[in-house]
A and B are shown apart, each in its own frame.
Chain A
Amino acid sequence: MKRLNSLISCTALLLVYLVVKLLESRGILLPYHVQILSLCCINIILVVSLNLINGFTGQFSIGHAGFFAIGAYASAYLTVHLQLPFVLAIICGGILAGLAGLAVGLPALRLRGDYLAIATLGFGEIIRVIILNTDAVGGARGFSGIPKYTTFGLAYLTAIITVVVIRNFVTSDFGRACLAVREDEIAAESLGVNSTYFKVLAFAIGAFFAGAAGALFSHYLQYMAPTPSQIGFVKSIDILIMVVLGGLGSITGSIFAAVFLTIIPELLRGFAEYRMIIYPILLIVVMIYRPAGLLSGQEFSLSNLAKHFKGAKAHGNHS
């Protein structure tokens, strides 16, 4: 059964890729559309990785854009100035962001709740200001002339890797320890879980993938500007909204929310200035009817869906 499930998933994932490629070659999907699909993949990586920190481990971080920025600038520097192959640059960007996650996480994760949120917000701004003042990456002028290496295929593959790794992580003993820390830190400690270790571990893994997403992003846009909306707190809040909308602790929820909130603003372009009214209204409506997010703590899967229907049927038979 499990084997069949993963076979179906693999086929479906491959099929999506082939369909996109086919539609692109036929000219039905314009480069603009493919761009948005790539952006969806990048956002999936960001949202799923932040969900690991906020949703699964329960550490409220709003500095995710800081790690994203480190990955974006570091990888761009590596490909532009050192001519490193792109894949290597993505990995280096991720590792650097992960190390930053370790360095920030060790002191910051002693804080809880609001204090942690403020500390991570501060960290994100520190990164942005450092970049703003570093001439080697363009300073305030921004980093231009980044080669366009990010393809849809690469973004798609990285998103899949991210989702699989984080899903496997949270269903392993390591992920269970993170859940325990989220649910009740004192009880977790009494069961032999070193809560600081798992908070920092989740933080570092989340930061690594945010860095990888950054690398994909800078080689997708070809230009990075040290503005709040691109690498500052506005970006962090954007990612956070997607996490909350999708549901804390739900990977599939994060994927839905990332795709939904990436595409919606594009679809609303026709409404011009009304766009910024419709978008928040949509968010408010979702939060009223699904306060815990679209899929809070649950995962969408075919077997769960089948179980749900079977359950409903059995229930119907009883009554």
Chain B
Amino acid sequence: MATTAELMVSNLSVQFGGLKAVDQVCFSLKPKTLGGLIGPNGAGKTTVFNALTGMCPVTSGQIRFKDKQLTNEPPHVIARYGVARTFQNIRLFRNLSVLDNLRIAYHQNRKYSLLCGIFHSPRYKREEAQITAKAEEMLDLVGLADKGEHLAGSLPYGEQRRVEIARALMLSPRLLLLDEPAAGMNPQETQTLLELIRRVRDELEITVLLIEHDMKLVMNLCEELFVLDYGHLIATGDPKSIQRNQRVVEAYLGGNGA
């Protein structure tokens, strides 16, 4: 079981001063799983994402991704290992075009040298054409093929979320972390998103872990759920068993073993 896991988080703790935001959390994710990280507000879900992507220091514990140690590596190194993410509050490069947003994310795969770039050598031109083709392909995947020239900041909210996913996919990641991808979306947009995430997993064969408050989306989409409460992992399992789990119900609705 442990050997087949792609992502292994063991005894992860993140402490901010006296506050234990994440406390001794252990979980693992098998390749090509659609995982969900849920829990009430302030449970530490985003902190787990930040720890996974090197954006906040890990106090103790370990994060392994395939054969790589991610613990306390800088974010750009973790991105190179094939872990991509989106943000709860969209972080697009608002003043750049949608295509440029995507092209930037191809950075780690660029092979031409600084001199090739400065002289716009044939190699530069060839590779840039490839990068643009790849960016257009990803835009097509998220259904925004005609929006490439628009400024990213000018798009409607739901489309910005999809651009952010397309941008993350430009990294050719093995693990995609989505932080509240459906936040602020209407039911129809959420449905499109659900289909998109499923398609991404099936076509690109990547592992997905998402944080989401929309329980309908989570229960329909995810195959494995991890429930956090006050920094502790209180339950793990498939959606059905989580729905029946007494501790989860308590965490969401309150009560003391009632």
**For the complex, what is the distance from the CA of A20 to the CA of B53, rounded to whole Å?**
57
Q: Choose among B76, B96, B116 the residue that contacts A183 (Cβ–Cβ < 8 A).
A: B96
Q: Report whether A192 and B80 are in contact in the complex, using a CB–CB cutoff of 8 Å.
A: yes
In chain A, positions 187-223 with a C-beta closer than 8 Å to chain B are: 187-195
Q: Report whether B108 and A192 are in contact in the complex, using a CB–CB cutoff of 8 Å.
A: yes
- Interface residues, chain B, with chain A CB atoms under 8 Å away: 53, 55, 74-76, 79-80, 84-85, 87, 91-96, 100, 103-108, 110, 112, 114, 116-120, 124, 128, 131, 167-168, 170-171
Q: What would be 30 A-B contacts, judged by CB atoms less than 8 Å apart? A: A168-B117, A168-B118, A168-B119, A168-B120, A169-B117, A172-B116, A172-B128, A176-B100, A176-B103, A176-B107, A177-B104, A180-B104, A183-B95, A186-B75, A187-B87, A187-B93, A188-B104, A189-B55, A189-B74, A189-B76, A189-B79, A190-B75, A190-B76, A191-B104, A191-B105, A191-B167, A191-B168, A192-B107, A194-B76, A195-B76
Chain B residues with CB under 8 Å of A183's CB are 93-96
Q: Report whether B84 and A190 are in contact in the complex, using a CB–CB cutoff of 8 Å.
A: yes
**For the complex, what is the distance from the CA of A168 to the CA of B170, rounded to whole Å?**
23
Q: Report whether A184 and B118 are in contact in the complex, using a CB–CB cutoff of 8 Å.
A: no
Verify if A173 is at the interface (C-beta below 8 Å from B).
yes
Q: Across the two chains, which residue of chain B brings its CB closest to A173?
A: B110
Given A172-B128, A191-B79, 19 new contacts (CB under 8 A): A172-B116, A173-B110, A173-B117, A180-B93, A180-B107, A184-B93, A186-B75, A186-B87, A186-B91, A189-B55, A189-B75, A190-B75, A190-B76, A191-B105, A191-B167, A191-B168, A192-B80, A192-B107, A193-B104
Chain A residues with CB under 8 Å of B117's CB are 168-169, 172-175
Chain B residues with CB under 8 Å of A176's CB are 100, 103-104, 107
From known contacts A172-B118, A174-B117, infer whether A192 and B95 are also in contact, taking CB-CB under 8 Å. Answer: no
Chain A residues with CB under 8 Å of B171's CB are 191-192
**For the complex, what is the distance from the CA of A165 to the CA of B116, rounded to whole Å?**
11
**For the complex, what is the distance from the CA of A191 to the CA of B74, rounded to whole Å?**
12
Chain B residues with CB under 8 Å of A193's CB are 76, 104, 107
In chain A, positions 34-72 with a C-beta closer than 8 Å to chain B are: none
Q: Choose among B80, B93, B124 the residue that contacts A172 (Cβ–Cβ < 8 A).
A: B124
Verify if A179 is at the interface (C-beta below 8 Å from B).
yes
**For the complex, what is the distance from the CA of A179 to the CA of B100, rounded to whole Å?**
10
Chain B residues with CB under 8 Å of A184's CB are 91-93
Verify if A138 is at the interface (C-beta below 8 Å from B).
no
**For the complex, what is the distance from the CA of A53 to the CA of B76, rounded to whole Å?**
21
Q: Report whether B107 and A177 are in contact in the complex, using a CB–CB cutoff of 8 Å.
A: yes
**For the complex, what is the distance from the CA of A187 to the CA of B131, rounded to whole Å?**
19
**For the complex, what is the distance from the CA of A309 to the CA of B107, rounded to whole Å?**
35
Chain B residues with CB under 8 Å of A168's CB are 117-120
From known contacts A176-B103, A193-B107, A194-B76, infer whether A186 and B55 are also in contact, taking CB-CB under 8 Å. Answer: yes
Q: Choose among B85, B96, B108 the residue that contacts A179 (Cβ–Cβ < 8 A).
A: B96
Verify if A142 is at the interface (C-beta below 8 Å from B).
no
B131 to A: closest C-beta gap in Å: 8
Verify if A122 is at the interface (C-beta below 8 Å from B).
no
From known contacts A183-B95, A297-B95, infer whether A190 and B53 are also in contact, taking CB-CB under 8 Å. Answer: yes
A176 to B: closest C-beta gap in Å: 5
Chain A residues with CB under 8 Å of B79's CB are 189-192
Q: Could you say which of A168, A172, A191, A193 has the most chain B C-beta atoms within 10 Å of its C-beta? A: A191
Q: Report whether A173 and B75 are in contact in the complex, using a CB–CB cutoff of 8 Å.
A: no
Q: Could you say which of A171, A176, A194 has the most chain B C-beta atoms within 10 Å of its C-beta? A: A176
Q: Choose among A169, A174, A177, A187 the residue that contacts B91 (Cβ–Cβ < 8 A).
A: A187
B231 to A: closest C-beta gap in Å: 23
Chain B residues with CB under 8 Å of A180's CB are 93, 104, 107
Chain A residues with CB under 8 Å of B76's CB are 189-195
A130 to B: closest C-beta gap in Å: 30
Q: Could you say which of B53, B94, B96 has the most chain A C-beta atoms within 10 Å of its C-beta? A: B96
Chain A residues with CB under 8 Å of B112's CB are 172-173
B81 to A: closest C-beta gap in Å: 9
Chain A residues with CB under 8 Å of B53's CB are 190
**For the complex, what is the distance from the CA of A113 to the CA of B124, rounded to whole Å?**
33
Chain A residues with CB under 8 Å of B114's CB are 174
B199 to A: closest C-beta gap in Å: 22
Q: Choose among B85, B94, B95, B116 the residue that contacts A190 (Cβ–Cβ < 8 A).
A: B85
**For the complex, what is the distance from the CA of A168 to the CA of B92, rounded to whole Å?**
24
Chain A residues with CB under 8 Å of B170's CB are 191
A101 to B: closest C-beta gap in Å: 15
